[in-house]
Structure 1
Amino acid sequence: MRHKHTSFFLNSLTIGILLIFTLVTPGKAQFVDLGQDPCSTRWRQIKTDNFQIIYPDFFEDNAQYLANIYEKLYAHANTLGIKPKRMSMIVRANGGVSNGNAGWAPKKSELYTAPPQDVSDAWLEHLCIHEFRHIVQYDKVNQGFTKALYYIFGEQITMAVIGVYVPMWFLEGDATVFETSVGKSGRGRSPEFLNEMKAQITEKGIYTYYKAVLGSYKDFVPNHYALGYYMVGNSRVHYGPGIWQDALSRVGKRPYGITPFARSLKLTMNEKRDSIWSSRHFQSLFVNPDSVKQANTHCDAKRTLYRDNFSELQQIWKQESDQIPHPFDTITTANKIYTNYHYPTATPTGQIIAYKEGLAQEGALVILHPDKDEIITRTGIMYDYKFAYQDETLVWSEYKYHPRWEHGGKMVLASYDIRHKKYHRYPTRQNRYAPFAVEGNWGFVEVDKEDNASIVILDHTFQKEIFRVKGSGDELFVHPSYDGKNNIVTVVVSSKGKHLESIDIHTGKRTQITAFTPYEIDNPVTVNDQIIYRGAFDANNSFYRQTQPQEFGANILNSKFGLRYPIVSPNKDSLLFSFYTSDGYKPGKIAINQLENKAIDTQTFRIADSVTQQENWQFKLTADSTYASRKYNKTSHLFNFHSWGPIFPDAEDVDIDFGLAVSSQNKLSTLFLTAGFVRGKGYEHGNWQVKATYKGFWPTLQLEFKSGRNDDFMQDYAIKIVQTQEIDTIRTIYKSQRTKGTATVQFPFNISRKNYSRYIIPYVKYEIQAIHSITPRRSYLLDHNRWTSLPSNNPYNSVLANPDDVKLQIMRYGLVLNNQTRTSQRDIYPRWGQRLEVGYAHTPFDGLDYGDTKWAEGRLYLPGFWKHHSWTLYFGHQLKSDKTTNYYGNQIYSPRGASLYGHNLSTLKISYALPFWYPDAHIGPLVYMKRFTAEPFFDTGWEKNRYWNKTYHSYGVEISADTHFFRLPFPVNIGFRTGYETKSNSMFVDMLFSVAFTI
């Protein structure tokens, strides 16, 4: 009986968690607003039995290419054993982001088509293959009991089940395995991708499963793509692809279980694990295989699989890395935690400049010193770390946001004049990448919105075009450089593979230097008539020297976990580069004459080759069909009802209400609509709600309607006592019916620049509300500056009049200004930041004047005494002309622990935040703790009302922890605030809790 009670409790807990994420996840994670394209975009669509592609009209040729890719993918029988149902793919081709996503609430996939300077497969093929696998995963889960739940909750239930039961490392790891097994290359054949985990496991050991999955602020932890690739891929090597097919099936069919995903893994391992550990080859990896197996067994299924996989890989990697020499010099730097130095570049004066970023450092160009690096300038967001140096000027490519449209930004060139300490950015309509110096001028790769690539040279002012050569078809130029004579040397990536090429800058003649290869190659540089570049022929990042055409050259330098970014010194006698360690990329150096030719020892990728055999086919377009396309009408597709059930999600208000509601989000993410009867904030007895937000124009438009019972209407009365002639003040709370409608217009402007996030948001809000059916609920007496509750039969009831119905129309106007620096992973708050909001509200209509209110509030972030410490200052002031009734509410914060009331309010808050512990510890599967933070504070508040004019103080400390519960990927900050406040002269304790639904 005890066991049954425990099972019942655990199942109830599981179902409870599932319901919470069913209710919460759509509001914060799956009803996702990833932004909009410019409203001038004209859309078309290709629609087949298998898929729908919605794309800008200028992307027609590539849309046909995408259609051929998806038709091929849908025809293939994949290793998850299911053909997915029709999915909509939204092509985001207006911007400079290279990415993709797939979701189920609403059901669609979004493709960000700007090609990166990576050297995997051709970008569109790579993107479609990876995101297609997510579609297959979701359909695999959407079966059995999960599919039955769809009729209650809609599309949101599939993502809720996945969010609770299926680890993120599996979703991304499985998709990465698929891209590797089906594509020509994929990240499973990229040493850059593989070596992060390899270095950590070899040099730092095997972290706990919790740390590997949920991350750390103390140490660098490879992301869920890398972890997942090894977990999924290596498990498929030993158990076959059925291990994951069975796991997803069980999740879909039994989401009411405790841990259906882990349970399925346990069943598979119970059947096959002993035979794996008994094999001679496997046992030969370990000194004492039985003890390792036994130690790994004392875990649940996911942790056992994790320990098994990485116990094996650790031994393999140690044997491999011990055989690789270290023949070069390390350039000394001063960093105790994980830090990367990219593209170390020597100047004629002997200084070394590098791009630095890591756990404690947001991206910056620095001059290297043994004791402390000197920051030259911080940069904007760089997706490729390549920069160029010439004549005391640095040039790089960074992301420039569009002032309004999230999918309208571009990768642009930026420069920094070291002599005059001036930063400049060069906006353009095309994406520009990988700058390089050309005899006083500047070259780069340019890609237009149709993904056509060119190499361009501009003069030193970045104004006059000197040279341009265009690629053909799907060719992308990667990391070009100038050879100091007449040629540009570049890597060219296409659906045929990768090769080195030389381009004459006078004639534009292109000469192919090497044959096509599926292996990664990049960063070619020329010295003494030889080309040095990074290649992955030996399954590691090594340097190769090209002296003969067509055939790939000799291996000249290697390191345990790979080398990147070869740069020739100004006097051409040394080669600078970065080599990877478990503490990040470190700068190294070697004399050119010490580089020795070694034959290329071509190696295979064990996991990649195995899963490729299992998949048993490789993606290759053998036909080029033309699909019928037609206009996609934005107006007729405004509504897309995808989820329903007993919830009302409101991501903007950070709120989830219970009731009966339906949700719509159209496929272009321009109209968001929720409607239903719910129990919402301030409406304990339920209310009708409708909320619609349209973001298809420059101003965003929002309409909201609420109607229901409200219990917080308040009125103050001054009553004269006949016997004493004294005035008593009575505050009465009424229950009432409140009907409210609002219309809001916002004008968002994103003016972010360099490492500063900056935006301006003016807004206007019209609000109409009626408070009616008003009856008393409870009363309070003001006694010695404190409100005391009165009994229901108090003698004052006879003289208290029920207020008249209130009908008013309020206009609110406001302006929000924000400016703050980008943060590193360890920062609690921005190093520098300012936020200011000013507003005004009044009642100008129908001859009713309920006064007005004005407010201003600001927040300042300042650096603390040590790194990652931060001062925060908040100030707010509000002035209300009406001194009796608060129809507008408080627009500013009160001091912590106290509340301000009155017509004239001011608040000043000062706090100092500091991290004091990085435990990386867990309490069973319940909670994993990453960081503890303390924040002492001192607040002052001033209130002026009809009765007094007083100042109050509060002081104390907030202690909070960054945690994860139940191994879920969503970070939870939980803690408490305690202190003393002088308004009531008492101690106070508040709970702190917040969830970030971003991973």
Structure 2
Amino acid sequence: MFKEIRIFLTAGIMILWAGNTSAQRIGLLPPKVKWHEIHNDSLRIIFPTGEERMATRIASVMLKLAASDPINTKGRYKPISVILQTQTNISNGYVGLAPYVSEFYLQPFENPFSLGSLPWHDLLAIHEYRHVLQLNAANTGISHTVKKFFGELAFSGMYALSVPNWFREGDAVMAESKWTQQGRGRLSSFTLPFREKLKEGTTWEYYKLRNGSYKYYTPDHYALGYLLIQYGNHVFGEQTWDTILQEAASFKNIIHPFSEPLLRHYGKRTKYFYEDAMKWYAQNWKESQTDDIDYPPIALRNEDLQNDYFDMAYPEVDDDGAIYTAIKTFDRTTAIYKIDSLGKKRKIQSLGLQQDPYFDHQNHRLVWTELRFDPRWIRRDKNVLVVFDERSGHKFTIQPKKGFFTPSLSPNGRRIATLHVDDEDHYNIQIFDANTGGLLGTLPNGDNLYLEYPIWDKDEISILAIARDRSGRMAIISQDIATGNITPITHFSFTILGKPFLHDQWIFLTTNLDTLDQVYAVDRTEGIFYRLTSGNFAHYDPAWDPTTGTIVCSEYHLNGRKLVRVNGRPGRDWKLTGLDNGVKSMEGAATDLLADVEKSGSYTVSNFSMWKDVVNFHSLTLVADDPSWQAEVRSNNVLNNLSIAAGYEYNRNSKAGGPYADVRLGMFYPVISVGVDQSARRVTNTVGQRFRISNDHIHAGLSLPLTYSAGPYQRIVNLSSTYHKGFSRIRPEIASNPDLLYNYISHRIILINSRNMAYRQAMPSWGQRFDLSYSKVSGEPVKYLYVSTDFILPGVQPSHYFNVIGEYLSQKISANTILLSTPFAGARGYDQLNGTKEYRLGLTYGFPVWYPDFGLGSILYSRRVRLQPFYDVAYSDDKNARATWMRSLGAELIVDFQIPPFSIGLRYSKLLSGGNRQSNVFEFFIPVQRF
């Protein structure tokens, strides 16, 4: 019996992939970054050297909000750690659990119509600290009990189940709008999708709106939440929302934790509350509607007009009247196209990773910016300039110290003016040679204005730009290239100013002076605003058409912005004073929280070591991966450079169990991992004698998780090597089964190249994946080599994909020693074999068959169902196999769920040859996301 015993050991290392959760990829910034902190009993701000003033202001704003707008003064409160990230060009922020931490990505967003013009750090401080107050208020009732016994991961799940995402984000947007002179809630662009939908006399079904759709455009939960919070404030007051939040988190109603308290305080459940809110907004907004104005559309082909979503942004008109514009659809990523007078479009270039699809064009040359990730460190990237010559096809990039934004070409296309930000957050307009990429000059900016959308004067002796000052006010300015002198053209105000276009003495741009965002012409010499567009549609990004003397701009529609033509002559309506009328009033607005923030307190600054609080156990988790069951405690520090998982694992089949612990250290360039595990089980032989079989195993390894971004492609390189040492023994001892001491090294290389995916794509239209693993047991003739490849090719439609799968396994197996487990899958539908030589070729064609937009309330919701016909052929020299060649034909039906985010599949396999099972095989499976 004991001669049959083999010890199964896992030879691979966990794949650290950029697209996976933060728990799987660790290491925010390199160890040379010196951190500091300011700390009090309510929060801790962690910041790099040189950001003390920023940290002090953020702390003051947060504490001022906590005192002015508390949710629950008697609730349980836990101080939050806030990390200020200055080396990324991404504008974002979050409050997270497991660990309990917040991060501010401090680079302001370039398009002011998306997030407004207020100082980004102030907006983050209010918005994210409101999330902190929400979390602490929700720490009550059953949620608190779960948190006390199981920690933050379980509490996070309870919070997500009880409090909808629209409430969390809507309440935070309400805070930023209520306590400042702007905020997203005061921008008409923020709620524009709802205005357009209600103008049609209808609205979205509630659950479709909450969960999204692949079939129709739906706005995100931020705007939905703000509108519902504002309506609730109107009908029952802000304090009632605070009560509903705490009652929901208490789970007084297990089935409807949020809807039930809303029913109690409002009289209707969430779905009907939403419908009432939409009726109220429809009536209010109807009063501000004017007569429709139909501006002539730019011609498009029928197939483009019939697209579910077809968005056109930032038009540029060539001298011959051809239009360049950035186009995005549900099935295709953003690209620059050229459209002729008949509506026929030609693709010029696909754009890489961007936060906004801005580009500029002059004389057959184009320029834009793209994100380039640091290969190793998660919170460091650069925003590079990309210069493309349409005639020659030549493309090159210009590297910044930190980032470039909103570049523009000179009229002859030979020079580039762009906003540049360095590592110390200094903003300057820089000028480059468009042929060589050489730096020609840096213009001074003593007031450190945020100078976006620079454009060239016709004589190229000055540059016009949209300036934001330290308070968030905006103005049009002119900067002399020779002297650097900055001259305001309009006065500073909180009115939003968009991308400008200069023609003669007129500066065309979009502002939010009206109920909806409209195009205005500004007299350069007098600074007077003249309205060009009006009506019930918003208009953006004007460009001058020299062939017709008209303006081409984007007109907002729910199925994507479309280009229209507008008269280029200014109208009689004009604005000179009172530009702050662009700031919309709101019900419940309070005193500006940002006033006199600098006087609100002082703080003691101290050094923050990357080893401080490095061990931070936050959660107890129960993991069921049948037949393996685990109880595990987890630790992650706030700088996300040390991860610990320890617990007890039990295998239901083998009846073996034991403790384990794994540690990953990510503060250095290679990730260091160490671990130990032990398992034991008791067996009884045929004569009733009992034995204890135990296995002890330790491992230590290094890995390099690298991510590269280049244009529309992402590349991932994962290199890892791990040393394993183990000891297996049987007690009482048996002469024929002596103790076994073994050690081996496993190596793995993963290479992935994939095209960025469009919104509706389940797989990239082009991609390659190469995975190689090799292990060799020291002193034993045991080794294995495993190689797998995936080649993704375009399908008939953009949302289709064709995957060619290859696998190869070569292994040496020895009796009475260890057996290294491998990920070899083999032909679908067959039992797993164990030969010394095995390989497979698989063909899969995938496509969506249904966009159901259907679910069970907030518990389960599916947006897509896919079908994957396949054909596999495999070979194995396993002596126990019925046949060496196995062929299967079948199909996989995959349901992609949005809530919760996972996929499940049902596979039918017709076994054409070989195998030890029936010829028709049905099985459920969990699809593996390999790209």
Shared fold, TM over 0.5: yes
Q: 2:421 aligns with which of 447, 451, 468?
A: 447
State the 1:905 CA deviation: 0.7
Q: 1:71 to 1:680 in 2, by over 3 A?
A: farther
CA contact (8 A) 1:80 1:244 kept: no
Letter in 2 for 1:196: P
Q: 1:473 to 1:988 in 2, by over 3 A?
A: farther
CA contact (8 A) 1:454 1:469 kept: yes
Q: 1:487 aligns with which of 437, 456, 462?
A: 462
Q: Which residue of 1 aligns with 2:476?
A: 500
Q: Secondary structure at the match of 2:50?
A: helix
State the 1:52 CA deviation: 0.8
Matched, 1:978 2:912: no
Q: Bigger CA drift: 363-372 or 373-382?
A: 363-372
State the 1:604 CA deviation: 7.4
Q: 1:144 to 1:851 in 2, by over 3 A?
A: closer
Matched, 1:395 2:371: no
Q: 1:701 to 1:255 in 2, by over 3 A?
A: farther
Q: 1:648 to 1:957 in 2, by over 3 A?
A: closer
Query: What do residues 907-931 of structure 1 show as CA deviations (whole Å, max 9, x unaligned)?
Result: 1111100111122234566643322
Q: 2:678 aligns with which of 707, 710, 733?
A: 707
Letter in 1 for 2:878: N
Q: 1:843 aligns with which of 757, 767, 777?
A: 777
Q: Which residue of 2 aligns with 1:611?
A: 588
Q: 2:803 aligns with which of 850, 862, 872?
A: 872
Q: 1:118 to 1:472 in 2, by over 3 A?
A: farther
Q: Which residue of 2 aligns with 1:747?
A: 704
| 1:553-632 → structure 2 map (5 Å cutoff) | 553-570=529-546, 573-593=549-569, 595-600=570-575, 609-613=586-590, 617-624=592-599, 625-632=601-608
CA contact (8 A) 2:859 2:900 kept: no
Q: 1:820 aligns with which of 754, 758, 762?
A: 754
Q: Bigger CA drift: 161-170 or 64-73?
A: 64-73
Matched, 1:36 2:28: yes
CA contact (8 A) 2:162 2:249 kept: no
Q: Which residue of 2 aligns with 1:311?
A: 279
State the 1:436 CA deviation: 0.6
Q: Which residue of 1 aligns with 2:388?
A: 416
CA contact (8 A) 2:508 2:542 kept: yes
Q: 1:618 to 1:597 in 2, by over 3 A?
A: farther
Q: 1:32 to 1:743 in 2, by over 3 A?
A: closer
Q: Secondary structure at the match of 1:623?
A: helix
CA distance in 2, matches of 1:509, 1:185: 29
CA contact (8 A) 1:237 1:607 kept: no
CA distance in 1, matches of 2:635, 2:596: 37
Letter in 1 for 2:192: N
State the 1:576 CA deviation: 1.7
CA contact (8 A) 2:864 2:895 kept: yes
Q: 2:862 aligns with which of 913, 929, 948?
A: 929
Q: Secondary structure at the match of 1:193?
A: coil
Q: Which residue of 2 aligns with 1:98?
A: 91
CA contact (8 A) 2:904 2:925 kept: yes
For the aligned residue pairs, the C-alpha RMSD in angstroms reads 3.1
CA distance in 2, matches of 1:373, 1:181: 45
Q: Which residue of 2 aligns with 1:807?
A: 741
Letter in 2 for 1:67: A
Matched, 1:186 2:183: yes
CA distance in 1, matches of 2:56, 2:28: 23
Q: 1:972 to 1:157 in 2, by over 3 A?
A: closer
Q: Which residue of 2 aligns with 1:281?
A: none
Q: Secondary structure at the match of 1:330?
A: coil
CA contact (8 A) 2:890 2:910 kept: yes
Matched, 1:350 2:321: yes
Q: Which residue of 2 aligns with 1:61?
A: 53
| 1:903-942 → structure 2 map (5 Å cutoff) | 903-922=836-855, 927-942=860-875
CA distance in 1, matches of 2:584, 2:658: 56
Unpaired runs of at least 5, structure 1:
1-27, 271-296, 714-733, 777-799
CA distance in 2, matches of 1:832, 1:959: 22
Letter in 2 for 1:417: D
CA contact (8 A) 2:71 2:137 kept: no
State the 1:130 CA deviation: 1.0
Q: Secondary structure at the match of 2:910?
A: strand
Q: Bigger CA drift: 168-177 or 78-87?
A: 78-87
| 1:192-207 → structure 2 map (5 Å cutoff) | 192-203=189-200, 205-207=202-204
Q: Bigger CA drift: 325-334 or 693-702?
A: 325-334
CA distance in 2, matches of 1:402, 1:946: 49
Q: 1:641 to 1:923 in 2, by over 3 A?
A: closer
Q: 1:182 to 1:316 in 2, by over 3 A?
A: same
Letter in 1 for 2:665: Y
Q: Secondary structure at the match of 1:191?
A: coil
Query: What do residues 965-984 of structure 1 show as CA deviations (whole Å, max 9, x unaligned)?
Result: xxxx4333233111122313
Q: Secondary structure at the match of 1:940?
A: strand
State the 1:648 CA deviation: 6.0
Q: Bigger CA drift: 140-149 or 863-872?
A: 140-149
CA distance in 2, matches of 1:105, 1:960: 31
Q: Secondary structure at the match of 2:347?
A: strand
Letter in 2 for 1:395: V
Letter in 1 for 2:806: F
CA contact (8 A) 2:649 2:660 kept: yes
> How many residues get paired?
884
Q: 1:406 aligns with which of 355, 375, 378?
A: 378
Q: Bigger CA drift: 173-182 or 939-948?
A: 939-948
| 1:90-489 → structure 2 map (5 Å cutoff) | 90-119=83-112, 120=116, 121-203=118-200, 205-254=202-251, 257-270=254-267, 301-318=269-286, 320-321=288-289, 323-333=291-301, 334-335=304-305, 336-368=307-339, 373-439=345-411, 440-461=414-435, 463-472=437-446, 475-485=449-459, 486-489=461-464
Letter in 2 for 1:231: L
Q: 1:181 to 1:324 in 2, by over 3 A?
A: farther
Letter in 1 for 2:355: Y
Matched, 1:960 2:891: no
Q: 1:762 aligns with which of 719, 722, 731?
A: 719
Letter in 2 for 1:447: V
Q: 1:667 aligns with which of 638, 645, 655?
A: 638
CA contact (8 A) 1:973 1:992 kept: no
Q: Secondary structure at the match of 2:348?
A: strand
Q: Which residue of 1 aligns with 2:820?
A: 888
Q: 1:77 to 1:920 in 2, by over 3 A?
A: closer
Q: Bigger CA drift: 978-987 or 832-841?
A: 978-987
Query: What do residues 190-233 of structure 1 show as CA deviations (whole Å, max 9, x unaligned)?
Result: 22222123223434831211100011111111111111111112
CA contact (8 A) 2:617 2:633 kept: yes
CA distance in 1, matches of 2:490, 2:74: 41
State the 1:349 CA deviation: 3.4
CA contact (8 A) 1:138 1:158 kept: no
Letter in 2 for 1:97: I
CA distance in 2, matches of 1:872, 1:995: 13
Q: 1:943 to 1:30 in 2, by over 3 A?
A: closer
Q: 1:426 to 1:657 in 2, by over 3 A?
A: farther
CA distance in 2, matches of 1:759, 1:833: 11
Q: Secondary structure at the match of 1:443?
A: strand
CA distance in 1, matches of 2:126, 2:497: 22
State the 1:483 CA deviation: 2.6
Question: Percent identity at matched positions?
Answer: 23
CA distance in 2, matches of 1:340, 1:34: 36
CA contact (8 A) 1:115 1:451 kept: no
Q: 1:881 to 1:254 in 2, by over 3 A?
A: closer
Q: Secondary structure at the match of 1:906?
A: strand
State the 1:570 CA deviation: 4.6
Query: What do residues 498-522 of structure 1 show as CA deviations (whole Å, max 9, x unaligned)?
Result: 2221111221111112222222112
CA distance in 1, matches of 2:812, 2:201: 64
Matched, 1:693 2:661: no
State the 1:92 CA deviation: 1.2
Q: 1:71 to 1:618 in 2, by over 3 A?
A: closer
Q: Which residue of 1 aligns with 2:15?
A: none
State the 1:605 CA deviation: 9.3
CA distance in 1, matches of 2:806, 2:891: 19
